[in-house]
Amino acid sequence: MTDRLGETMNWSRLVGVAAAGLLLGGCSGAASTTGQPSSPGTSADTPHGSADDTVSTPDATPLKPMLLLNGNLDARPGQLVDIRLDSVSRAQGDDAVTARSPAFSGPVRLRWQDGSYRAVQSLPMTDTPGQYPLTVAVAGRTVAHDSIQVVRSERPSFTMTPASGLARPGEPLGLYFDDLYPGERGTDFTVRSAALPGPVRLVHDEHYDFYNPRAFSAGPVLRTGLADGTYTVGLYGPHGRRITEKRLKVRASRPGDADYLGKAYGPDFYDPRTGYSDSPHGHDFRVRPGGQVAVMWHDVDPDPGEETRLIATSPVFTRALRLHRDDSKASDGDDPRYFGTATVRADIKPGRYAVKVVAHHGRVSKVGYVTVTAR
């Protein structure tokens, strides 16, 4: 479990399952394997496809039931546990698949979904720390077992995480409120600070915090032009009630800091039809009116958040061009790079035109040139 913004708080485990003497279409014995952490409902969790009828034939090797639990380790009261039984067909289960554990308030019915029997169940807030057995039964006969590890409840906590480890003007600030604690209610949480452009609403993100239903987060950008100093950041609940406040030290980059000027080079230009690797590229490029030109920018030490700020401007473009971070396989082994494709104005006169890219909050500015030829 972690309190950093944007990280999941649980691990998953693919466990062996004892068939306990039950013959399910020829299935018996136990399956034992391991799996990687994953989110509920993803195709990567499905080792045996999603057909409605996974039926063994006398000549086929029988499939053994497998149980996949997510959220069962270091689980706090109130968290969600994802239960999934694989390799039992819908006909075999006949909608009579049930999970039981002293950690739950009662039996949990697993429903057929995407080729497996599944359920998501919350742990009661009254659970005490301990290791709780879990069994899964089909038509009253146990076919799988595992356990749920419940840990102690934690007091609500509010954390801030600057993108670069240091809070810089104009850069993202991760905000995270973990409110999973007995008696806590409401979903209306707001952060206010003179360091932010305005009030910031915290929301629950089911992708990153699926297992914790009371995790609330946001990633605002600190105001540009902030003076160096310490700023109060307050967390407010429903009706404007202040829950807590923290102090945030903000300091702009200075000469000597790795992120002050970075090590930027570019802009380079190339033909978007052939790609960066397969076409000549450099600081000068020839193109006809109405044509297209791709722009590439490199920076060994980019500022955090540059992917939202880098723009190439030129009188030859129909509009300012936003450069996006290149995270493709083609960028492997290269310095961090940003790219985009611009359209050249159809009414532009032949000539040589500057293309400017400004980075590091205006501290770095570099120019390349595009030559527009006659039609």
- Decide if 348 is inside a domain: yes
pLDDT at position 40: 52
Contacts of 215 by beta carbon, 8 Å cutoff, 6+ apart? 9, 176, 177, 178, 179, 180, 204, 205, 208, 209
pLDDT grade for 19, boundaries at 50, 70 and 90: very low
- Decide if 6 is inside a domain: no
Share of the chain above pLDDT 90, in %: 63
Beta bridge partners, 136, equal 99, 144
- Decide if 7 is inside a domain: no
**Domain endpoint, select from 208, 230, 250:** 250
pLDDT at position 278: 63
- Decide if 3 is inside a domain: no
- Decide if 105 is inside a domain: yes
- Decide if 77 is inside a domain: yes
C-beta atoms surrounding 291 within 10 Å: 18
Check whether residue 122 and residue 184 sit in a common domain: no
- Checking if the pLDDT of 322 tops 90, the result is yes
Q: Residue 209's domain spans which residues?
A: 157-250
Check whether residue 115 and residue 222 sit in a common domain: no
Between CA 209 and CA 205 the distance in angstroms is 6
Check whether residue 131 and residue 170 sit in a common domain: no
Between CA 304 and CA 97 the distance in angstroms is 49
Give the global pTM. Answer: 0.69
Indicate the number of domains in the chain. 3
For the chain, the straight-line distance linking the first and the last C-alpha, in angstroms and rounded, comes to 62
What tokens were used for 129?
A: 């720390």
Check whether residue 263 and residue 364 sit in a common domain: yes
From residue 245, alpha-carbon distances to 155, 160, 200 in Å are 15, 11, 14
Check whether residue 146 and residue 22 sit in a common domain: yes
Check whether residue 233 and residue 343 sit in a common domain: no
**Domain endpoint, select from 117, 150, 183:** 150
**Domain endpoint, select from 103, 129, 150:** 150
- Checking if the pLDDT of 162 tops 60, the result is yes
C-beta atoms surrounding 296 within 10 Å: 22
pLDDT per residue as tens digits for the range 229-255: 999 999 999 889 999 999 999 998 888
Check whether residue 117 and residue 97 sit in a common domain: yes
Check whether residue 141 and residue 169 sit in a common domain: no
CATH number of 207's domain: 2.60.40.1930
- Decide if 188 is inside a domain: yes
Q: What is the mean pLDDT of residues 173-196?
A: 96
Q: Is the peptide bond before 267 cis (omega within 30 degrees of 0)?
A: yes
Check whether residue 145 and residue 17 sit in a common domain: yes
Q: What is the mean pLDDT of residues 95-110?
A: 95
pLDDT at position 372: 97
What tokens were used for 59?
A: 């000549």
Check whether residue 220 and residue 286 sit in a common domain: no
- Checking if the pLDDT of 350 tops 50, the result is yes
The label of the residue with tokens 């691990």 reads 11
CATH number of 336's domain: 2.60.40.10
Q: What is the mean pLDDT of residues 115-120?
A: 95
Q: Which residue has the higher pLDDT, 69 or 262?
A: 69
- Decide if 1 is inside a domain: no
Check whether residue 19 and residue 145 sit in a common domain: yes
Check whether residue 303 and residue 232 sit in a common domain: no
